[in-house]
Amino acid sequence: MRRPRTLREQLTFFFACSVLGTTLLYGVLVTAVLATGEWIEHTANPSLGLTEGIFDEARQALGAILFSMPFAVLGSTAIAGALARRALAPLREASDRVRAARASELDLRLPDRGTRDEWDTLAATLNELLADARASLVRIRSFTSDAAHELRTPLTIILGETEVSLRRERTPEEYRRTLAIVLDETRRLTHLVDELLQLARADAGTQAMTVEPVDLYSLARLSLQRTEQHLAAQSRNLTLELKGGPTQVWGSPVLLTHVLDNLLSNARRHARERIRVELDATDMGLRVTVGDDGEGVDAAFQARLFQRFARADPSRHGEGIGLGLAMSRTIAEAHGGTLDYARVDGESLFTLRLPKPKASGEPPLPAGHAIADRTTS
């Protein structure tokens, strides 16, 4: 089986062929010019033919070219090889850097010579790709670390409560108390694992989202009813308001319900007296606003509000796991919309914006976007 040529061999071959081809073409042109000149000279003065052939000089030139051809081949090959080696120097330098770089850190940047040639274009493109990969690696490590921390907390509580209960015989009330703690932590653990699975599926885009016409007003009304039930169970009294009318969008009713439940759950934890949900249509699309009269998000924390596992007070447990708002924004973006926060006139406002349905009835979702069509409550 014939061995494929290396890049250096190919460049050497191309350079040598170019030199030889140019030399041959030049030799043919010189021979033709000499032959034409002698023919014109003999035509003008036929007596010269007795002492000198018509194409003597041309034949001498052609012979000299053929005689020098082997030396030209060797010389052009040697020069072409040296030029090819020099041209490939950036590739060797890049190869050395890649070999020395650590895959776990992606601490690699390919050389940019500033010549704006093909190599610089390739190096710039690969450097951008490496920068994105480094940023993704940092996010994955941070996410993994946060997930491990969040998973360890309920597991530690379950293990500790169980070990303490098994050290001696307990009364039924003590066993009941321990089991209640284990049940709460198991539910928290299950909720956390489910949220992590949702985010992993959303990031991977492994399952296409099934969309259909959805009435946001009906979803908001049902979410408010569930909020009212939670408040009754906690013996809290808040004023719940719902403004707007039937509002049709294209989307997943399960996922949009998850967004509304998350926003209302967040408002329920922080509201003092009132929670307001308002739906309206704008020129840009449809808007759902969930507001509460709580203290609002600290200005220093707002930049991290939608990050995963971000909580204003990390020491608090049992009041969310820091994934609800991140998951809600992911769902909003999967529907071609946005989810933002603002503090306006003493009210905390989470605004969900979704695109209007097209007149053709086709869903206005980003092409190719995918997300898991399953949620938890």
**What does the DSSP assignment read for 194-262?**
HHHHHHHHHHHT-SPPP-EEEEHHHHHHHHHHHHHHHHHHTT---EEEEE----EEEE-HHHHHHHHHH
Q: 10 CB contacts (<8 Å, ≥6 apart)? A: none
* pLDDT exceeds 80 at position 160: yes
Parse the chain into domains and list their residue ranges. 7-100, 125-204, 212-354
- Are the C-beta atoms of residues 281 and 287 closer than 8 Å to each other? yes
Q: Tokens standing for 233?
A: 């169970």
Q: Which CATH superfamily is domain 212-354 in?
A: Histidine kinase-like ATPase, C-terminal domain (3.30.565.10)
- pLDDT (mean) for 105-119: 75
Angle 176-182-188 from CA coordinates, rounded to 5°:
140
**pLDDT band at residue 360 using 50, 70 and 90 as cut-offs:** low
Fold: same for 125-204 and 212-354: no
H helix intervals, the chain: 7-44, 56-87, 89-100, 118-166, 172-204, 216-233, 253-270, 324-334
- pLDDT (mean) for 307-331: 68
- pLDDT (mean) for 199-212: 65
**pLDDT band at residue 95 using 50, 70 and 90 as cut-offs:** confident
- pLDDT (mean) for 180-208: 75
- Are the C-beta atoms of residues 342 and 312 closer than 8 Å to each other? no
Which tops the pLDDT comparison, 20 or 373?
A: 20
**pLDDT band at residue 364 using 50, 70 and 90 as cut-offs:** low
* pLDDT exceeds 60 at position 206: no
Give the tens place of pLDDT for each residue, 123-156: 888 888 888 888 877 777 777 777 777 788 788 8
Q: 209-221: string of b/e by CB count within 10 Å (b at 16+)?
A: bebeebebbebbe
pLDDT at 288: 94
Task: Return the CATH number of 125-204, one of 1.10.10.10, 1.10.3720.10, 3.40.140.10, 1.10.287.130.
Answer: 1.10.287.130
**SS3 assignment, position 177:** helix
pLDDT at 370: 42
**pLDDT band at residue 276 using 50, 70 and 90 as cut-offs:** very high
Q: 51 CB contacts (<8 Å, ≥6 apart)? A: none
Which tops the pLDDT comparison, 278 or 11?
A: 278
